């Protein structure tokens, strides 16, 4: 926030670039590695009594990554106490999620609900300034 308050665009850009590198260099590969490690861990944890759904897990991982992508911009808005844009994007994201659940869940079941959450988080990450 110090760089933003001082209007130090160069350092602000460098910091946001570093956050993108962390996202691309750490979180995304960790999400991919988790796709490999999760099935055996899940089956051991549930003792093979509940079937692991890799598609649902992948969609959930994508939703988490989409949420993480929008966090730097959201932190800037919160730090500047810009409540109106936060409210607008929260309402838009919530509306997208509810509409997605209503449309996708009857046809695709729980996978449709997970996809709606992922689309909602993607909308939120794209809309944050």
CB 86 within 8 A of CB 106: no
> Structural domain boundaries of the chain?
2-127
SS3 108: helix
CB 119 within 8 A of CB 100: yes
- Angle (deg, nearest 10), helices 83-108 and 54-79: 170
What would the pLDDT profile of 36-87 be if each residue is shown by its tens digit? 999 999 999 999 998 898 988 888 888 888 778 777 776 776 676 767 877 8
Max CA pair span of the chain: 57
What is the residue whose two structure tokens read 């729980």? 110
What would the pLDDT profile of 5-47 be if each residue is shown by its tens digit? 566 677 777 777 787 778 778 888 998 999 999 999 999 999 9
φ/ψ region of 81 (left if φ > 0, alpha if ψ in -120 to 50, else beta) reads left
Structure tokens at 75: 């932190």
């Amino acid at each position: 926030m110090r760089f933003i308050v001082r209007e130090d665009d160069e350092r602000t850009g460098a910091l946001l670039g570093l956050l993108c590198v962390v996202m691309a260099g750490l979180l995304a590969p960790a999400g991919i590695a988790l796709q490999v490690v999760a099935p055996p861990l899940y089956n051991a944890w549930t003792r093979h009594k509940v079937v692991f759904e890799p598609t649902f897990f992948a969609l959930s991982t994508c939703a988490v990554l989409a949420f993480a992508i929008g966090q730097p911009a959201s932190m800037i808005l919160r730090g500047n106490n810009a409540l109106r844009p936060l409210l607008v994007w929260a309402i838009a994201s919530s509306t997208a999620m509810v509409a997605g659940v209503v449309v996708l869940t009857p046809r695709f079941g729980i996978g449709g609900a997970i996809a709606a959450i992922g689309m909602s988080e993607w909308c939120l990450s794209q809309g944050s300034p």
